[in-house]
Chains A and B, each alone.
Chain A
């Protein structure tokens, strides 16, 4: 076994590829059997498809297992056993945790977990935090009001499991949180990218405090793709003088991937706990080769109360062809989650991913962190309006910035934009997840 403590689990994280695949097959068969035996919802789904646990003999066989979509979960919930319905695999009295999805794409989905499941959630996060350099000597500040959403609950528990000291920073406004950081000198923080930037802006422009002097050394982001968007990552790292790390997870899935200290421009999939499949959006065929985008279909091997078996997450990802210098053998997805099938929309016949616009806006000095994109119709033609703010002191540079912005947007997205420059501080500010993309064509 390697002597260094770089890995949360040195056995698991350095498994040779053939052993990872053997482990995944073994664990898929176990969770599939569990769902088949304990969930009426899953059993009906599999019986309709004519597939039984004994049919899974190889990883290729898994492709015949039907996928589950969020809309299917919505349909079965709020029924007996209330409120979870037919996918619940354990007696209600064994459920110790309630969470729900944010409802961004429709009616929220409820997620029950047993205590074992909850230990598993924090175990997944322990892999993340250890890989990002969290150690017992860290004091971790979490500026987030935990509630029915899973965000940062598991991060909190995992930090405790690792042995960190955790400072819960809920029910405070942004200024009070900055002051608490100044008072307690935490070394690490967890927040959404939007809020990491908003806190830096408040510290600097409303309190006269330079965030990079506050002593935060590492920041773990969740909830949005910003920490994998190079220009947004750079802005956060420069503002705080800290390393910023991404991870990806979801309420119905778990925390399934993470960036490590080597910052390999991608996220390691925790392949010991999850099976990640990338599926071609048009053909439905699996994508094994690097560099081709598809949608994520994912299985959480060890979550029992409400299993996640071949869940169609609608996230867009792609395999990386790089091996990480950290030594982990878990595969990388390049650039993190690059979008969602729900968000990627056709404008003037061209596929547009909002993250590409963010990458351009945040790469231009002189523009603030805030922006808003509105797609509507002018006559019969699609029109994209991009609203941005100039930072104070850059007003005289507007013409150059406008030309650069238009050029870069054309280059990165193949589309022309109607640009609107707004006074600094007038675009909406967000504390958790930002809603910067508005497609008004859907109202027509």
Chain B
């Protein structure tokens, strides 16, 4: 797998995770234990987005030796 493909795969899983966490968060207004814990999960997911998702568009292809 090239670097770009790896990043895309990571990002795909992060977005799936986010979708589930958001759904939990949105349906838990009356359940603070889920609401507040899913807020924290979303904050951690945000860190994964900063580390991975932000790079997907800027990374061109593989490492120089993979080109």
Which A residues are closer than 8 A to B by beta carbons? 1, 9, 11-12, 15-16, 19, 22-23, 26-27, 115-116, 118-120, 123, 272-273, 302
Contacts and interface: CB of A to CB of B under 8 A. Distances in A.
A116 B38 CA distance: 12
B46 A26 contact: no
A119 B58 contact: no
A9 B3 CA distance: 13
Which one of A9, A11, A119, A120 has the highest number of Cβ atoms from chain B below 10 Å of its Cβ? A11
A268 B60 CA distance: 23
Contacts of B54: 23, 26-27, 272
Contacts of A23: 54-55, 58
B35 to A, nearest CB: 13
Contact of B51 (A9, A16, A27, A116): A9
Contacts of A272: 50, 54
A123 B50 contact: yes
Contact of A12 (B39, B43, B55): B55
B58 A19 contact: yes
A115 B25 CA distance: 15
A120 B50 CA distance: 9
Sorted nearest first, the 3 A-B pairs with minimum C-beta distance are A22-B58, A119-B43, A116-B43
Contacts, number: 49
Nearest to B60: A19
A139 to B, nearest CB: 24
Nearest to B2: A1
Given A26-B58, A120-B46, 6 more contacts: A11-B59, A16-B64, A115-B43, A119-B43, A119-B46, A272-B54
A23 B59 CA distance: 9
A273 B3 CA distance: 20
B29 to A, nearest CB: 14
B55 A115 contact: no
Nearest to A30: B54
Interface of B: 3, 6-7, 39-40, 42-44, 46-47, 50-52, 54-55, 57-60, 64
Nearest to B56: A11
Nearest to A8: B51
Chain A contact residues, majority secondary structure: helix
A389 B43 CA distance: 51
Contact of A302 (B7, B50, B58, B59): B50
A89 to B, nearest CB: 15
Contacts of A16: 64
A120 B47 contact: yes
Contacts of A302: 50
Which one of A19, A26, A118, A119 has the highest number of Cβ atoms from chain B below 10 Å of its Cβ? A119
Which one of A12, A23, A116 has the highest number of Cβ atoms from chain B below 10 Å of its Cβ? A116
Contact of B47 (A22, A26, A119): A119
A60 to B, nearest CB: 18
Contact of A19 (B6, B52, B59): B59
A11 B39 contact: no
B55 A15 contact: yes
Contact of B6 (A1, A26, A120): A1
A11 B14 CA distance: 16
Contacts of B64: 16
Nearest to B64: A16
Given A1-B3, A115-B40, A11 B52 contact: yes
Nearest to A94: B39
A19 B64 CA distance: 13
B63 to A, nearest CB: 8
A1 B44 CA distance: 23
Nearest to B3: A1
Contacts of A22: 58
B7 A11 contact: yes
A26 to B, nearest CB: 6
12 contacts: A11-B3, A11-B52, A11-B59, A15-B58, A19-B60, A26-B54, A26-B57, A119-B44, A120-B50, A123-B47, A123-B50, A123-B51
A1 B59 CA distance: 13
B51 A11 contact: yes
A254 to B, nearest CB: 12
B4 to A, nearest CB: 10
A123 B57 CA distance: 21
A302 B48 CA distance: 12
Nearest to B40: A115
A22 B44 CA distance: 24
A26 B58 CA distance: 9
